Structure 1
Amino acid sequence: MAAYTTTLGDVEMGLEDRTVVLVEKKSCTGQIWKASGALLIVALCLGGVLLFAWCWNGRPEIMMQSGQTEAQIKEDTSKKTDPHYTLSRISSKAKAAIHLEGTYNDESSENELEWRNDQGQAFAQGGFQLVKNQIVIPQTGLYFVYSQASFRVSCSNGDEERAGKRLTPLSHRVSRYSDSIGGNASLMSAVRSVCQNTAKEDNTSGHGWYNAIYLGAVFQLNKGDKLWTETNQSPELETEEGETFFGAFAL
């Protein structure tokens, strides 16, 4: 936009002889506003492109995560609260670890709980070995040793008058053999009593008493030490996956 100013003529000259000259002055303000507007438009366009690109790349991931949450939230919650799942997950991340699942064979003459490293979530790594139903420690160090035995006991013995008076003890023990101590030693053990007082009432449903004994602690063990379990009432053991287990991992 152009601006015009009037120059003063010679006051001594007559009005007729006085010449008026119009001088055009260019304005910088308009050009500044035009440049600023152009820069603002470019900035807005660039921001829109970046926002679109961010939304396009992030949306599939968000949708996938929300879809997984809806489909797996119940399963993940139940697993995280299961001690068997927690122990097997922790031990699987250890350099040396073993996790065994228990089985029981009614036809076996030994009448004892058998440990397996080839079924369910069982595994062995880092030098651990299962030899003659015993865990062999690979190196000297600190280890977390754990075991659980689950029982379902039928309290009824066929005598209705004495059904409520029968008392059944359940015991589970983890033992150790070490050359350093020159023999066997009990690492940890526990005893539970079932079928007491209310056995007659519980057996009306035919399911009996359910009880689990869990053992777990940290021990200093030596290379070549052997660990095993001793459990009474073996025929009453629950041996489905995650019910009865035995393991250790290095710290």
Structure 2
Amino acid sequence: MVAYTTTPVDVEAGAEAKTVVLVEKRSPAEWIWKGCSVLFIVGLCLGGVLLFACYWNRRPDMMTQSGQTEAPKEKNTADPTDPHHTLRWISSKAKAAIHLEGSDSNGQLEWRNGQGQAFAQGGFKLEDNKIIIPHTGLYFVYSQASFRVTCGNSGGDEEAERGLMALSHRIWRYSESIGSRSSLMSAVRSACQNTVQEDDFTDEQSWYNAIYLGAVFQLNKGDTLWTETYKPSQLETEDGRTFFGVFAL
């Protein structure tokens, strides 16, 4: 908007010398409009910068997924949340470690190396179903026993028929410095528990559970570790469900 103003007339100069000066005045609305336009442009610039930054940060992941910047890795079908998978992975990173998988040998638990995910490195040995510690130091010792019990079967175990069966798993240690065996860890589970009525369990109903043991110990060179399991005939040994291992810290 343009407004016109007239300057005072010099009377002595006469009418012919009268001068008119035009002065442009800007309204407040025009200033507000221009200010909003500048802010809008600045906002667009900032938005563009942020979008570019987000794209650049996501670019390595996108390229990795498409296989352009990283060679294809071996497919791993193991469940990362499975304790067997996790402990096996941790053990493989240790300089000295052993991880054994259990198998059924005439109703007895036998530990085996070199099958499935089992391995031994750093001087660990498996002798007479026992782990031999290679040198003195701190070690993480662990084991899991997985059970499958058929409850309420009339021709099976007497404890299962009564609706209750005690299962246990223990890790023993023998050290020459001590001169006798000692229990490192142990746990007990009650299978086929009937807490409501005696006839809750139907014939051939199965009960599944696992006993897991794990802790850190100071062990000496030459110490031997082994397990003792009550009701080993009820163990599940398929797919590495029952395992025993040690790794150095």
TM-score range (shorter-chain normalised) is: 0.5 to 0.7
Which letter does structure 2 place at the counterpart of 1:238? E
Aligned counterpart, 2:154: 158
| 1:230 aligned partner | 228
- Report if the CA contact (8 A) 2:153-2:161 is conserved: no
Q: How far apart in 1 are the matches of 2:239 and 2:163?
A: 30
The Cα offsets for residues 146-181 of structure 1, whole Å up to 9 and x where unpaired, read as 00000001112317xx97733100000000000011
Does the residue aligned with 2:185 lie in a helix, a strand or coil?
strand
1:122 is matched by which residue type in structure 2?
A: A
Q: Which residue of 2 aligns with 1:102?
A: 102
**Contact 1:97–1:128 (Cα < 8 Å) also in 2:** yes
Q: What is the deviation of 1:201?
A: 3.6
| Closer, same or farther: CA 163–101 of 1 in aligned 2, 3 Å | closer
Aligned to 1:92: 92
Decide whether aligned partners of structure 1 residues 192 and 62 sit closer, same or farther in structure 2, where only a CA change above 3 A counts: closer
Structure 1 residue ranges without an equivalent (≥5): 1-53
Is this contact kept in 2: 1:102–1:116, CA < 8 A? yes
Q: Which residue, out of 172, 176, 184, partners 2:173?
A: 176
1:189 alignment partner in structure 2: 186
Kept in 2: contact 1:150–1:211 (CA 8 A): yes
**Residue deviations 1:184-242 (CA, integer Å, cap 9, x gap):** 000000000011216754445x3411110000000000000000000011111000122
* Off by >3 Å, runs of 4+ in structure 1: 57-62, 162-165, 198-204
In the alignment, which residue of structure 1 is the partner of 2:30? none
Q: Report the equivalent of 2:214.
A: 216
Asked if 2 retains the 8 angstrom alpha-carbon contact of 1:163 and 1:200, the reply is: no
Q: How does 1:1-251 map to 2 (within 5 A)?
A: 61-64=64-67, 79-106=79-106, 111-158=107-154, 165-197=162-194, 200-204=199-203, 206-251=204-249
Compute the displacement of 1:95 (Å): 0.2
TM-score (norm 2): 0.66
Contact 2:151/2:205 (8 A) holds in 1? no
Amino acid across the alignment from 2:235 = L
Give the TM-score of the pair, scaled to structure 1.
0.66
| Cα distance in 2 for residues equivalent to 1:240 and 1:139 | 32
CA contact (8 A) 2:152 2:205 kept: no
| Rounded Cα–Cα distance in structure 2 between residues aligned with 1:65 and 1:194 | 53
* Structure 2: segments with no counterpart, 5+ residues: 1-55
- Provide the residue aligned with 1:28 in structure 2: none
Structure 2 vs 1, CA of residues 99 and 191 (structure 1 numbering), >3 Å: closer, same or farther? Answer: same
**What SS does the aligned partner of 2:84 have?**
helix
Q: Decide whether the 8 Å contact of 2:147 with 2:236 is kept in 1.
A: yes
The 1-side partners of 2:95 and 2:113 are apart by 17
- Tell me: CA distance 1:244–1:200, structure 2 relative to 1, closer, same or farther (3 Å): farther
Counterpart-to-counterpart distance in 2, 1:79 and 1:186: 32
SS at match of 1:104: strand
Q: RMSD value over aligned CA atoms? A: 3.1
CA contact (8 A) 2:133 2:219 kept: yes
Residue 202 of structure 1 contacts residue 209 of structure 1 at CA under 8 Å; is this kept in 2?
no
Aligned 8 A contact 2:143 2:214 in 1? yes
Once the 2 structures are TM-superposed, how far is the Cα of residue 61 of structure 1 from its aligned partner?
4.1
Please give the alpha-carbon distance, in whole angstroms, between the structure 1 residues aligned to 2:101 and 2:125.
14
Q: Alignment partner of 1:208: what SS?
A: strand
